Amino acid sequence: MTQDARAAQLLGLDKPPLSRVLDMLNGNGEEARVVGGAVRNALMGLAVADTDIATTALPGEVMRRVKAAGFKVVPTGIEHGTVTVVAEGKPFEVTTLREDIETYGRKAKVAFGRDWQRDAQRRDFTINALSMSRDGKVHDYVNGRPDIDAKRVRFVGEPATRIAEDYLRILRLFRFHAIYGQGDLDPAGLAASISARAGIATLSRERVRMEMMKLLAAPQAAATLVVMADSGILLDVLGGVPRADTVARMKAAETAVGVTQDTVRALAALGVSIVEDAERLAQRLRLSNAEQAHLASMADGWWRVTPGMSEAQARALLYRLHPDRYVDRVMLAWARSQSDTGDVEWRTLVRLPQRWTAPVLPLKAADFIARGIAKGPALGKALASAEADWIAADFPADAAALAAIADRAMLAAQA
């Protein structure tokens, strides 16, 4: 089976609902093709998530055909020529071909067109500019096929010009390379990105966040981040000195012990050393409150986590943090330690939640009320003292030890 035939099979070109949507849009002087990321992924043998379609038909004609075929149509971006067709429960974005009349900054004056080549030339990277027609033929107007085969991410046209149209393309270059690339970044694209990196400051924080989070989750994230750091681009993005080398060690350690990779944990490895870094990144990347708290938890004293900790000290940390946050902090400390992924002590430390479950403090407020402490500050002081003493004693459960802890807490509360 040829590469094109395998790609058509991955797309489901001859199966409903895609086949029905294309058949509906084709004919009577109009043509529709699958375009963009779906074709790229299919040619690379990767899973296809969303299938986008381009058509020569104007939006009004597209909507007329969709309704006549009995499918659902949603005018999601009709002013830009895009409607969403829902066929057999699956959505397809259908966009009328466009061509640039004038470009200025991130904006462009466009017009609907019928020229597939000019539509392809509007796209950012060559690997994203291919299209596949209903008969399974791949159309390449920008030499994207060699780049797909070489796993090379390269701008369509002059890199500096394409970046000036939208500075987000700097981050997209690195993100797409981290996902689809192999080897070194395209030299021309990298040079143009470095020259134009000041333009990153003009982007919305939401757009920067989206690109960075996707990049951090990519297969080649670690190596790509090193290039971004060396070129000065990460400093512009994060507003602080990055530690790109730590990301590689974090991901290697996660793989070694079977911990699910997490983008916020990777972000901590990249840019968090102290709690204040979490606040800075939250502002720079418009992180959620939960994400900021996640980063802050990892930053709070990670350097005190060492493989020399006793089992009791590790259990005390796990009790205070709960399993997920405990693993996060230990993983960050491990990644920063320079120890290799085979280190037995680190592995033992990070796997503590698998062999020990933190108990619940057996002493309750009622126990101290029964001993004569009234509700109020003294009761809170007694409970806090008892918990600290119980943790320090390595979580005893026997009655005699608990009674002694309660006695000491009573004295502390009355002091």
The region that residue 294 occupies, defined by phi over 0 for left and psi between -120 and 50 for alpha, beta otherwise, is alpha
* Phi, psi for 132 (deg, rounded to 5): -130, 125
Which one, of 272, 333, 273, 326, lies nearest residue 308 by Cα?
A: 333
The Cα 412–Cα 401 span in angstroms is 17
CA distances (Å), 86 to each of 12, 15, 128, in order? 16, 15, 23
For residues 218 and 179, the answer to whether their CB atoms sit within 8 Å is: yes
Torsion of CA 247, 278, 275, 307, to 10 degrees: -20
Determine the pLDDT at residue 70. 95
pLDDT of residue 103: 55
Residue pair 234/228 in contact by the 8 Å Cβ criterion: yes
Give the chain's length: 415
- Kindly report, residue by residue over 196-230, the tens digit of the pLDDT: 999 999 999 999 999 999 999 999 999 999 999 99
Say if residues 113 and 41 touch (Cβ distance below 8 Å).
no
List the structure tokens of 410: 């009573």
- Say what percent of the chain tops pLDDT 90: 90
The lowest-confidence range among 199-203, 305-309, 372-376 is 372-376
CA distance 166 to 105: 6
Q: What pLDDT does residue 338 have? A: 85
Order of strands across the sheet that contains 72-77 = 72-77, 82-87, 90-96, 52-55, 32-35, 131-133, 138-139
Tell me the C-alpha distance between 268 and 277, whole Å. Answer: 9
pLDDT value, residue 412: 85
At residue 374, the pLDDT reads: 86
Q: Which H helix or E strand runs over 13?
A: none
Q: In the numeric block, which tokens belong to residue 134? A: 């209903």
- Hey, which residues does 27 pair with through a beta bridge? 30
pLDDT of residue 238: 96
Can you list the positions of beta strands (E) in 241-357? none
Average pLDDT over every residue of 165-170? 97
Q: Does 327 have pLDDT greater than 70?
A: yes
> For residues 11 and 186, what is the distance between their CA atoms, to the nearest angstrom?
28
Q: Mean of the pLDDT values across residues 336-360?
A: 95
Per-residue model confidence (pLDDT) at position 288:
96
For residues 394-411, give the mean pLDDT.
Answer: 93
* pLDDT class of 107 with cuts at 50, 70, 90: low
Q: Indicate if the alpha-carbon torsion angle 393, 394, 398, 402 is positive or negative.
A: positive
- Mean pLDDT score of the chain, rounded to an integer? 94
Q: How much is the pLDDT for 414?
A: 82
Residue 102 pLDDT > 70: no
Q: For the chain, which domains are there?
A: 3-150 (3.30.460.10), 152-241 (1.10.3090.10), 243-358 (no CATH), 365-414 (no CATH)
Which residues have C-beta within 8 Å of that of residue 333, sequence separation ≥ 6?
302, 303, 305, 306
Reported as a pLDDT band with limits 50, 70 and 90, residue 11 is: very high
374 burial via Cβ count (<10 Å: 0-12, 13-18, 19+): exposed
- Pick the more confident residue, 105 or 97: 97
Give the long-range contacts of residues 397-401, CB within 8 A, separation 24 or more: 397/359, 397/362
Instruction: Determine the pLDDT at residue 178.
Output: 98
pLDDT grade, residue 108 (50/70/90)? low
Nearest of 201, 214, 144, 191 to residue 168 by alpha carbon: 201
Q: Take residue 285 and report the two structure tokens written for it.
A: 């990347």
Give the pLDDT confidence score for residue 100 in this predicted structure: 66
Classify residue 179 as left (phi > 0), alpha (psi -120 to 50) or beta: alpha
Rg of the Cα atoms in the chain: 28
Average pLDDT over residues 276-284: 96
Least confident of 97-106, 220-229, 266-275: 97-106
Strand-pair category, 90-96 with 52-55: parallel
- The pLDDT of residue 111 is 86
Kindly report, residue by residue over 224-265, the tens digit of the pLDDT. Answer: 999 999 999 999 999 999 999 999 999 999 999 999 999 999
What one-character DSSP code corresponds to residue 303? G
Other residues' Cβ atoms within 10 Å of the Cβ of residue 173: 29
Mean pLDDT of 30-56: 97
Contact partners, residue 117, CB within 8 Å, separation at least 6: 141
